[in-house]
Structure 1
């Protein structure tokens, strides 16, 4: 079978597995455990609206499990079904940021591409954050100022409590009669560490909405 599980979907599966494993280990009432199984089935089915029957059967196998070793084997069995993130080549990435003459790229060879929903990296010297994401079937890149807060908050991308910073990007849209000096910035708090963020993200809708607001 061709890989069909994207990173955020895999993270959702892991989250649901964790909830079910905890219920199986700590809850005595079988009705409660069955309720957790039923909710897991709903969540995973909802997360794969375009999956084939065969693919969905693979995902839903975890619902019937009950012990820690079974859950571990189940997650391991999904590895071959995971879709790696297509980062593009260094040259392709540089073309996404034509105004940056000396763009510092991350080490693409060192990336675990199966564990990425978006490619994000910082240029600490320039106080900038770069994001690359496959929006509407093509890679798009945005850059913005990243201001560290040195404290925890809710990341708008993964919706988890982590160490965050304020990411601010300029939009490309302009009103028809805007002056040459017009600009509009959109900002939101997001994880300071994109690896942590990619490991937590279970829904790509927030980052897609943010990117649409910036690039369109």
Structure 2
């Protein structure tokens, strides 16, 4: 039985490096350059994993020997059985994260392929609010805030992809805030969370954001 060890953002690293090597093989003929890229891509993939068994290292390291488009397709396809999905979560668990929202509209969880989800989010169009759920240290974190389209492109805080952005502002508790002891903290993020989840390769910025605005 396959033991899952690849989280979504790590799979995105694998996919990104595989695509880069594949493109290099199509456009570069210099053997020394190709060998350098092979080594670089394999190294970057290994660096995305804090801990690996020898078998896992060998599996990931096969990238360096790939040649054909079919090789790359098989390489990426083989990891499906090793994907570690977003932890199981129910509608009731989500509702408990946002107790003040009595009419919370939760997405259809059954329609989501949680293997490719780093963070769960959705927008309530009626209130222009974005809700975000993230698993951290054995529990779920939930934050909500105002989402405002910017009608411009830039780099998303979470996935660092150049894409159409929205400004996500969250009310936070602060000792140096206004009389009601609250302040606002915000940043630019992708308007389309599915594409963001398919692009994110590092959870550092996302987790830092959650720590700053978390309850």
CA shift at 1:33, angstroms? 0.7
Unaligned runs of 5+ in 1: none
Q: What residue is the counterpart of 1:18 in the other structure? A: 19
Shift of 1:137: 2.3
Aligned: 1:186 with 2:185: yes
Task: Output one character per residue of 1:154-193: Cα deviation in whole Å (capped at 9) or x when no partner.
Answer: 1010000111100001224x32x86651212111000001
Matching of residue 52 in structure 1 with residue 25 in structure 2 = no
CA distance in 2, matches of 1:94, 1:204: 24
1:191-202 equivalence runs, <5 A:
191-202=190-201
Write out per-residue CA displacement over residues 175-215 of structure 1, whole angstroms, 9 at most, x where no aligned residue: 2x866512121110000010010011000100000001111
Q: Which residue of 2 aligns with 1:137?
A: 138
Q: Does the 8 Å CA contact 2:119/2:133 hold for their aligned counterparts?
A: yes
For 2:9 and 2:69, the matched residues in 1 are separated by 22
Deviation at 1:50, TM superposition (A): 1.2
2:101 pairs with 1:100: yes
Residue 35 of structure 2: aligned partner: 34
CA drift of 1:87 comes to 4.5
Q: Are positions 1:205 and 2:204 aligned together?
A: yes
Q: What secondary structure does 1:100 align onto?
A: coil
Does the 8 A contact of 2:156 with 2:188 survive in 1? yes
CA distance in 2, matches of 1:100, 1:86: 23
Q: What CA RMSD, in Å, does the superposition of the two structures yield over aligned residues?
A: 1.4
Q: Distance in 2 between matches of 1:156 and 1:44?
A: 21
